[in-house]
Amino acid sequence: MAIVGTRMTRVEDHRLLTGAATYVDNLRLPELAGAAFVTFVRSPIAHARITHIDTAQARAARGVVAVYTAADIDVPPMGTPPMLTNGAAMARPCLAKDVVRFAGEAVAVVVAEDRAAAADAAGLVDVEYDPLPAVVSVEDALAGRTLLFPEAGTNLAHEAGELSAADPFADCEVVVTREITNQRLAPVPMETRAAACVPDGEGGLVLWLSTQCPHAVRDDMTRQLGLLPGQLRVIAPDVGGGFGGKIPSEVDYTVLCWIVRQLGRPVRWMETRSETMLTMNHGRGQRQRVTIGGRRDGTVSAYRLDILADAGAYPHTAWLPSATVWMATGAYGIPRVEARARCVVTNTTPMGAYRGAGRPEAIAAIERAIDLFAAEIGMDPADVRRRNLLRPEAFPYQTPTGMEYDSGDYPAALEQVLAAADYPGLRAEQARRRAAGDHRQLGIGLSCYVEVTGLGGEEHGKITMDADGAVTAYVGTTPQGQGHATTLSMIIADRLGVPPEQVSVRHTDTGSLDQGGGTFGSRSLQLGGSVVHEATQRLCDDALPLAAAALEADERDVVLDRESGRWRAAGDPAREISWAELVRRSRPGGSFSVEVKYALPKLTFSYGTHLALVEVDTETGQVKLVRFIGVDDAGRLINPLLAEGQRHGGIAQGIAQALYEEMRYDEDGNPVTATLADYTVPSAADLPGFELLTRETPTPHNPLGAKGIGEAGTIGAAPAVQNAVIDAVSHLGVRHIDMPLTPERVWQAIKEATS
């Protein structure tokens, strides 16, 4: 019986839930015995010249092994990717050299016998700063009065897309324009950044790292440290969440490796939550200007999105707003769409990927624009969507912003959600409360999203089958809680006809698989899953002649019975051989092994519709999320249970952006919401149960028919909730409120609209 498509429970859970998981800081390996502890000394100032660093007192303190500054570390800075328009002069030194560019940037590093001694000594490093004007807003950065990198001559790190000279709105009956802020967020995984590093005894290093991309980190560190290929092995043990924040190669890792080479002894490093809030990349952070135009009958004919994005202090991911440009079109068939992003450096924590990474910003913009347009022409937002959504016959659809959407039925997803919600009933209840002047007004918000998935289109893997029939798969994708071992073992089990318990999945060790892409951009099931699918096919292809020989039959008559996992000769049920017997017979003392590389021929596009129902207290501005209904179509589901888990967590983080979270800075570049008391991550108490509906439209672009599901919830949920809150008070004249929709912001919007 096929296992794919069933709700098999996660093979990882027993270990994770009983505290048996091994995160970096739990590693108790003999080679880590006697490890020193590393703590960074971080700048409390956003922008300053470093005039003097005195490490004498720290070096003399109890238990201190060494203290280093930029002057000691002879490693070149981390260069920006070549695709940036102006990145060449914006490299990041391993430790701040001469200038600090954000509060939290490391200026020195302390190595001590234990964690407490390192923390104490870090406080004894005396750094003198001469403050420089801080560039905090993207507008100030673009104006360029103060430059973060004077040699670059600009704060503009990257530019993507372009706006036409012609007016795309010339023939529109109605045009609406609005400034929108997609606020800066922090990823906040449960496990902070952490690593352990040891000399391997042969001149190389082993780095255990809480990362989403061990292979990329290995390659970047090898290059930066001037190591030979093979001299650095990176292993990600259990990783307690990442959400994008553990994708990048970081200068802190380089420093750790450098220290181990310097001292020849193992080291450990684990940040405090306070540090991680400032050092792990933040995400989003776009000022958007949306313009939407069309006819009074609800037809949208033109849309423009102009983005000014924040790259933070070092623009290593300043290309991310390109993803916003690509996805600007959203789920609609709008004839004229144009988008541009300019990304500038500021004296704030460097930006990077955060669940959705450029795509939520695109959907937030167009979903707000659709509602603004609907309000302007006095049409129900559901009807405007009905009129403009791409129809199933449009696929494959070439968007004006350069994407090719693969498959789906966008209008059906909308109708499915509207029916489940009893949309007319909700509108009637809303009308009743408006007429009664109830202080608890009802708001209904819709979001029809589409997201590009399967980024980083190539992946590697290897499968071996032993003489006892045990299957081991090595894959270049690497989990942070998603359940890869479960889903991949299901695919392999079905393809080879072995029970899933007989399959073990290994990932995240560059020592056991030389190449790998990692996990980000909703890619792992499509890429990692297709890799193992491909590998099982190759394994079967390789085994076929061997099975035919063993069964003394023609290859054309031999098949693998995927129910029993036995090779059979057609027409003679007695002639059969198990995988284990075949291995023993064909490879005495050995095993079967295949290694494959899989490239996704084209990107895939998940989509769906989310509906949020909120109650807004018009006297205090407090928002209560009452219901959340969503349909997400991510192609064929390998395990619906795990897909629901991804949707659930994604929706929670989307709601978090809409209502609760914002990383804020004061005008001097001091972070003001950098603790979990002020950066309000929601808990279960803040969220209702989610009503999750399903659709499955397979993609033609991979053998599984699967698309990505990891970021869908986040992308769809935030605009649905934002639109719902604004809808609740739209009769009072409110047209827009920026996220997060705190009680004060909502109250302020009502006050301004009604006064």
Q: What is the closest distance, in whole angstroms, from the C-beta atom of residue 272 to another protein in the complex?
A: 8
Binding segment for another protein among 76-84, 425-433, 630-638, 738-746 (CB under 8 A)? 738-746
Alpha helices in 294-358 (DSSP H): 321-326
546 part of the interface to another protein, by CB under 8 A: no
> Residues 389, 332: contact at Cβ < 8 Å?
yes
Widest CA span of the chain, in angstroms? 90
115 part of the interface to another protein, by CB under 8 A: no
Q: What is the closest distance, in whole angstroms, from the C-beta atom of residue 382 to another protein in the complex?
A: 29
721 part of the interface to another protein, by CB under 8 A: no
Amino acid at 712: A
Task: For another protein, give the closer residue by CB, 54 or 686.
Answer: 686
If DSSP codes are grouped into helix, strand and coil, which group holds residue 228? coil
685 part of the interface to another protein, by CB under 8 A: yes
Return d(Cα 201, Cα 474) in angstroms, integer.
26
Residue among 210, 212, 233, 190 nearest 479 (CA): 212
438 part of the interface to another protein, by CB under 8 A: no
Interaction with another protein in 247-276: which residues (CB under 8 A)?
Answer: 274
Q: What is the closest distance, in whole angstroms, from the C-beta atom of residue 685 to another protein in the complex?
A: 4
Amino acid at 134: A
598 part of the interface to another protein, by CB under 8 A: no
Task: For another protein, give the closer residue by CB, 277 or 631.
Answer: 277
76 part of the interface to another protein, by CB under 8 A: no
Among 37, 122, 747, 749, binds another protein (CB under 8 A): 747
Q: What is the closest distance, in whole angstroms, from the C-beta atom of residue 622 to another protein in the complex?
A: 6
120 part of the interface to another protein, by CB under 8 A: yes
752 part of the interface to another protein, by CB under 8 A: no
Residue among 260, 280, 272 nearest 39 (CA): 272
If DSSP codes are grouped into helix, strand and coil, which group holds residue 361? helix
DSSP assignment, residue 501?
A: G
Binding segment for another protein among 385-393, 493-501, 554-562, 669-677 (CB under 8 A)? 669-677
Neighbouring-strand partners of residue 754? none
Q: What is the closest distance, in whole angstroms, from the C-beta atom of residue 621 to another protein in the complex?
A: 8
754 part of the interface to another protein, by CB under 8 A: no
Q: What is the closest distance, in whole angstroms, from the C-beta atom of residue 126 to another protein in the complex?
A: 17
Return d(Cα 218, Cα 220) in angstroms, integer.
6
Binding segment for another protein among 258-266, 288-296, 619-627, 704-712 (CB under 8 A)? 619-627
677 part of the interface to another protein, by CB under 8 A: yes
Task: For another protein, give the closer residue by CB, 139 or 678.
Answer: 678
Interaction with another protein in 54-73: which residues (CB under 8 A)?
Answer: 61-62
Q: What is the closest distance, in whole angstroms, from the C-beta atom of residue 656 to another protein in the complex?
A: 9
Task: For another protein, give the closer residue by CB, 137 or 673.
Answer: 673
Among 607, 660, 665, 690, binds another protein (CB under 8 A): 660
Return d(Cα 619, Cα 28) in angstroms, integer.
56
Neighbouring-strand partners of residue 653? none
Strand order in the sheet with 503-507: 503-507, 471-475, 458-465, 592-599
> Residues 289, 177: contact at Cβ < 8 Å?
yes
Neighbouring-strand partners of residue 613? 444, 627
Q: What is the closest distance, in whole angstroms, from the C-beta atom of residue 747 to another protein in the complex?
A: 6
Return d(Cα 306, Cα 338) in angstroms, integer.
8
Helices (H) and strands (E) in the chain, counts: 18, 28
Among 137, 622, 645, 696, binds another protein (CB under 8 A): 622
620 part of the interface to another protein, by CB under 8 A: yes
Residue among 39, 181, 244, 200 nearest 123 (CA): 39
Q: What is the closest distance, in whole angstroms, from the C-beta atom of residue 745 to another protein in the complex?
A: 9
Total residues contacting another protein by CB under 8 A comes to: 27
> Residues 191, 184: contact at Cβ < 8 Å?
no
Binding segment for another protein among 632-640, 681-689, 712-720, 723-731 (CB under 8 A)? 681-689
Q: Return the CA Rg of the chain.
A: 27
* Long-range contacts formed by 138-142: CB under 8 A, 24+ apart: 138/285, 138/287, 138/308, 138/309, 138/310, 138/344, 138/346, 139/287, 139/308, 140/346, 141/310, 141/344, 141/345, 141/346, 142/308, 142/342, 142/344
Q: What is the closest distance, in whole angstroms, from the C-beta atom of residue 676 to another protein in the complex?
A: 9
570 part of the interface to another protein, by CB under 8 A: no
Q: What is the closest distance, in whole angstroms, from the C-beta atom of residue 672 to another protein in the complex?
A: 5
> Residues 71, 127: contact at Cβ < 8 Å?
no
Task: For another protein, give the closer residue by CB, 117 or 341.
Answer: 117
Which residues in this chain contact another protein in the complex, by CB under 8 A?
A: 61-62, 117, 120, 274, 619-622, 659-660, 664, 672-673, 675, 677-678, 680, 682-683, 685-686, 742-744, 747-748
